């Protein structure tokens, strides 16, 4: 079946994409452990609206991109203590996350200063399920994205704005005057990889739903086919019975007398 072939291809691609161990490998710390409370890496939980902001957003989030999100601190504690993790991980319990956000008045002041097209809040440049709002505000709520370094300096050094800013090239300017950035290592663009994983996971989910629908239709067809075969067998059996009856009638005394009368006539 074509759907099965597509599912196998996407599964294979996801295995290649996840070869860098984006998943958290652990055993269930207790019987009937609810794995649905383990949500995945932060990088897997959002989508960048415009790829031109990939570098800047990756600079904003930093190492938190690879942190694993769980629903609560109890789940995190169970995994850390009894999950037999195969490598060191950072776990973010959603019920313990401290959200971060910039005062809207500061954003307004900055955009008046340099223009809305030159300064955008980092969190407005991503899409995500609102369930993860605390995570995204923690990861992105503290920074703005600026078109270039000159604009970032103007924003960060202005006393009416004075917030953490990041350029499209990934340079970071802190309100305290610290600037970081510079050369980036080749191959450290993780957001396109996470986007590819998310896209293929959605494709796989939709294909599995389609496969389930096809299988349900096949089962319905099998039921109809079985009913048809039963009726067909019943008809053939009745036809055979009728033929036998006609055969028996042809050799009865009534038939013989009828033939004699016809002959006498």
CA torsion sign for 125, 129, 135, 141 is positive
Helix (H, G, I), strand (E, B) or coil at 172: strand
Q: How confident is the model at residue 15 (pLDDT cuts 50, 70, 90)?
A: low
Where do we find the tokens 């036998």? 244
Full-model pTM:
0.72
The 10s digit of each residue's pLDDT in 69-79 is 999 999 999 99
Long-range CB contacts (within 8 A, 24+) of 79-82: 79/24, 79/26, 79/29, 79/38, 81/29, 82/29, 82/30
Fold of 2-207: Alpha-Beta Plaits (3.30.70)
Q: Which helix (H) or strand (E) holds 126?
A: strand 126-128
Q: How confident is the model at residue 185, as a pLDDT?
A: 52
pLDDT by residue (tens digit) across 21-49?
677 889 999 999 999 999 999 998 999 99
- Using DSSP bridges, classify how beta strands 143-146 and 164-167 pair: parallel, antiparallel or unpaired: parallel
Axis crossing angle, helix 191-249 with helix 2-17, rounded to the nearest 10: 160
DSSP H or E run through 221 = helix 191-249
Tell me the C-alpha to C-alpha distance, in Å, between residue 183 and each of 54, 171, 175, 213, 217: 16, 10, 22, 51, 56
Tell me the C-alpha distance between 72 and 85, whole Å.
18
N-terminal to C-terminal alpha carbon distance within the chain: 72
What pLDDT was estimated at residue 117?
Answer: 93
User: Where is 68: in which H helix or E strand?
Assistant: strand 68-70
Which of 75-89, 184-198, 212-226 is most confident?
75-89
207 has pLDDT over 80: yes
Q: What percent of the chain clears pLDDT 90, i.e. is strictly above it?
A: 51
The two three-digit tokens of residue 176, written as one number: 């305290």
Question: Across residues 52-70, what is the average pLDDT?
Answer: 94
Residue range 53-73: mean pLDDT, rounded: 94
- pLDDT per position as a tens digit, 229-261: 888 888 888 888 888 877 776 666 666 666 777
Q: 3-state DSSP call for residue 193? A: helix
Among 50-64, 96-110, 122-136, 204-218, which stretch is predicted with the lowest mean pLDDT? 204-218
Q: What is the reported pLDDT for 223?
A: 86
Q: Are 121 and 144 in contact (CB under 8 A)?
A: yes
Q: For residue range 178-204, what is the model confidence (pLDDT) as tens digits? A: 777 755 554 568 888 888 888 888 888
pLDDT tens digits, 108-124: 999 999 999 999 999 99
Is residue 138 predicted with pLDDT exceeding 60? yes
Q: Which helix (H) or strand (E) holds 38?
A: strand 38-41
* Average pLDDT rounded to a whole number, residues 15-24: 67
pLDDT attached to residue 34: 95
Bridge partners (DSSP) of residue 165 are 144, 173
């Amino acid at each position: 079946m074509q759907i099965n072939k597509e599912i196998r291809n996407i599964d294979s691609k996801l295995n290649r994409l996840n070869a860098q161990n984006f998943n958290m490998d652990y055993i269930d710390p207790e019987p009937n452990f609810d794995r649905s409370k383990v949500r995945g890496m932060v990088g897997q939980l959002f989508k960048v609206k415009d790829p031109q902001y990939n570098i800047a957003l990756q600079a904003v989030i930093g190492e938190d991109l690879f942190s694993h999100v769980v629903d609560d601190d109890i789940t995190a504690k169970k995994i850390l203590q009894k999950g037999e993790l195969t490598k060191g991980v950072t776990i973010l319990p959603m019920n313990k996350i401290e959200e971060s956000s910039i005062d809207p008045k500061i954003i307004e002041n900055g955009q008046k200063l340099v223009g809305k097209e030159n300064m955008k809040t980092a969190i407005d440049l991503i899409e995500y399920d609102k369930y993860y709002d605390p995570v995204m505000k923690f990861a992105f709520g503290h920074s703005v994205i600026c078109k270039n370094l000159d604009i970032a300096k103007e924003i960060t050094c202005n006393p009416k704005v004075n917030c953490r800013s990041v350029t499209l090239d990934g340079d970071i300017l802190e309100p305290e005057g610290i600037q970081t950035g510079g050369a980036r290592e080749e191959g450290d663009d993780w957001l396109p990889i996470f986007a590819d994983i998310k896209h293929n996971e959605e494709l796989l989910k939709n294909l599995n739903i389609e496969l389930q629908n096809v299988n349900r239709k096949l089962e319905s067809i099998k039921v109809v086919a079985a009913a048809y075969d039963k009726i067909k067998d019943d008809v053939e059996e009745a036809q055979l019975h009728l033929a036998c009856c006609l055969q028996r009638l042809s050799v009865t005394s009534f038939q013989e007398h009828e033939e004699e009368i016809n002959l006498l006539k």
